[in-house]
Amino acid sequence: MDAAYKKVNGNYESETGDGEKRGRRGSMYLEEETSNKSEVISCIFSIKEEVGALARALRLFEEKGINLTHIESRPSRTNQDQYEFFINVDSSCSQALDDVIDGLRKQISGPVHELSRSKEKDTVPWFPNDIQDLDRFANQILSYGSELDADHPGFTDPVYRMRRKEFADIAYNYRHGQPIPRVEYTEDERITWSKVFQELKTLYPTHACREHNRVFPLLEKYCGYRPDNIPQLEDVSHFLQSCTGFRLRPVAGLLSSRDFLAGLAFRVFHSTQYIRHGSRPTYTPEPDVCHELLGHVPLFADSNFAQFSQEIGLASLGAPDEYIEKLATVYWFTVEFGLCKQGSEIKAYGAGLLSSFGELQYCLTDKPKLQPFDPNKTSLQKYPITEYQPIYFVAESFEDAKEKVRKFAATIPRPFTVRYNPYTQSIEVLDNTKRLRNLADSISSEMGKLCEALQKFQ
């Protein structure tokens, strides 16, 4: 398997003091092996199912002297007459590959998506400018969703492995703008969900932050959150869009830190759709639908938390690799394992805590060390991945954390500033006077509305 995947998903498992066994995969999504990743360039192209079609496509590579290091295919779910091909080539072929891609686009009927980006020294890494650009890397995962490590509870279960492939295929064929396919979960899957759901729900009133507890009943009312029902990502995504503009997108496996954080800049959360193996409902070696729907989703419906999460994503766009690692660590200690002050108490808001029955109890005891959230210090903090955290960072509020992340983002060396335009769902790079003038006009218009509203209160 991929070296980066092994780094995140190493063969480890620990048993906590309360008997709950658990696995930890980096920051659920976040880990990046940039040295290995930069050696390979990947792309996906589609061709019609006809005699000689693949031979003609491969001839383009042969004519340019490009050696394919990996190729795989599968039927296209968006077009029954086409097959999709995923290929890897060595990065030394980068220049020649440009000509091949042009040839593919001119000579074949289906789309061509180049997935890898150049990471030459002192150049700004590629980042998506439009929400549809997320299609370009959504399948460039560090692991394929149906491939399981030998220590995975479902490794020897052929039915579970086939089921995982079904979920991976859904994510692989998804494109922005399409409805997320609905899944008919099995009885065994619903039983697993029920065990996790009921255990965690008993702790939320006393351990979860007020924002989580405010939203959770709404999810029960509008999205089918029940012990006997696993909610559909499409329904939850619509709910989030109506609350904060956040949306879900199915993903087949672990994305790199850079790609995952880039999604947050567009208020897009890449979410798994499969569920952990039923033989061990309290243990999962990877993020699953329980983690996403019970841990992440409630907070993405809160406007302050949504803005805070998006700030981390915006800070990642065009950032050097070393700062991506720092932002990933900030994400780990906030969105995944964050605590916050609420009145005289401290509550949990991190999804890794809110989806773990054992750690949700542990984090609010006197066993771990608590420190104030400061991105400059938090981003350098090392953390274990096979046991409960010895250190948690406590935010004064989501608003305070957001402002601190903004100030931290200003220290990232990049020759521009970015902002998200919610009307066009695109990133505006503020690197010339015209764009700055447009921003100033927009702010002036909003300030006018604010002044008008204030006058009416007098």
**400 within 8 A of 304, measured Cβ to Cβ:** no
Question: Rounded CA gap, 28 and 15, in Å?
Answer: 18
Statement: residue 420 has pLDDT above 90: yes
Helices 210-222, 233-243: axis angle to 10 degrees equals 130
The confidence score (pLDDT) of residue 226 equals 96
C-alpha count within 13 angstroms, C-beta hemisphere, residue 115:
24
Tokens of 198: 């009921």
Report in angstroms the alpha-carbon separations of 372 from 329, 369, 376, 391: 15, 10, 11, 10
**114 within 8 A of 62, measured Cβ to Cβ:** no
Residue with the bigger pLDDT between 328 and 78: it is 328
**Phi, psi angles (nearest 5°) of residue 7:** -65, -40
Statement: residue 196 has pLDDT above 70: yes
291 assigned to active site: yes
Tokens of 127: 């980042």
For the ranges 51-55, 108-112, 155-159, 345-349, which has the lowest average pLDDT?
108-112
- Owner of token pair 């990232």: 412
Question: Rounded to two decimals, what is the model's pTM?
Answer: 0.73
C-alpha count within 13 angstroms, C-beta hemisphere, residue 433:
0
Question: Rounded CA gap, 350 and 362, in Å?
Answer: 13
Residue with the bigger pLDDT between 61 and 227: it is 227
Report in angstroms the alpha-carbon separations of 436 from 20, 129, 370, 433, 455: 53, 17, 41, 5, 28
Nearest to residue 263, comparing CAs of 273, 276, 275, 250? 250
Tokens of 233: 């990502």
Statement: residue 371 has pLDDT above 60: yes
- Segment 417-423 mean pLDDT: 92
- Which one of the listed residues 42, 237, 291, 316 is annotated catalytic? 291
Share the mean pLDDT of the chain: 83
- pLDDT tens digits along 20-48: 444 333 333 333 333 344 456 777 788 88
Compute the radius of gyration of the chain from its Cα atoms: 23
Residue 190's contacts (CB-CB under 8 Å, 6 or more residues apart) are 228, 229, 230
Question: Rounded CA gap, 242 and 225, in Å?
Answer: 17
For the ranges 129-133, 245-249, 277-281, 431-435, which has the lowest average pLDDT?
277-281
- Which one of the listed residues 237, 271, 296, 379 is annotated catalytic? 296
- Owner of token pair 């932050």: 209
SS3 category, 359: helix
Kind and range of the H or E element at 419? Answer: strand 417-421
- pLDDT tens digits along 373-394: 999 999 999 988 768 999 999 9
Tokens of 420: 């998200």
**47 within 8 A of 82, measured Cβ to Cβ:** yes
336 assigned to active site: yes
For the ranges 72-76, 305-309, 397-401, which has the lowest average pLDDT?
72-76
Statement: residue 148 has pLDDT above 80: no
**Phi, psi angles (nearest 5°) of residue 2:** -60, 140
Statement: residue 92 has pLDDT above 90: no
For the ranges 102-111, 195-204, 397-406, which has the lowest average pLDDT?
102-111
- Which one of the listed residues 336, 356, 359, 379 is annotated catalytic? 336
**How many residues belong to the chain?**
458
- Segment 116-122 mean pLDDT: 49
pLDDT category of residue 8 using cuts at 50, 70 and 90: very low
Residue 171's contacts (CB-CB under 8 Å, 6 or more residues apart) are 138, 139, 145, 250, 251, 252, 273
Question: Rounded CA gap, 44 and 8, in Å?
Answer: 25
- Owner of token pair 């031979």: 55
For the ranges 96-105, 195-204, 214-223, 286-295, which has the lowest average pLDDT?
96-105
Residue with the bigger pLDDT between 11 and 403: it is 403
Residue with the bigger pLDDT between 98 and 454: it is 454
pLDDT category of residue 155 using cuts at 50, 70 and 90: low
303 assigned to active site: no
**16 within 8 A of 387, measured Cβ to Cβ:** yes
CA angle 91, 97, 99 (to 5 degrees): 155
**143 within 8 A of 2, measured Cβ to Cβ:** yes
Nearest to residue 332, comparing CAs of 400, 284, 279, 260? 260
Tokens of 147: 């491939």
- Which one of the listed residues 116, 143, 146, 355 is annotated catalytic? 355
What one-character-per-residue DSSP string does 288-309 give?
-HHIIIIIIHHHHTSHHHHHHH
Instruction: Encode 217-235 in three state secondary structure.
Output: HHHHHHCCCECCECCCHHH
Q: Quick one: what percent of the chain has pLDDT higher than 70?
A: 83
The confidence score (pLDDT) of residue 243 equals 96
355 assigned to active site: yes
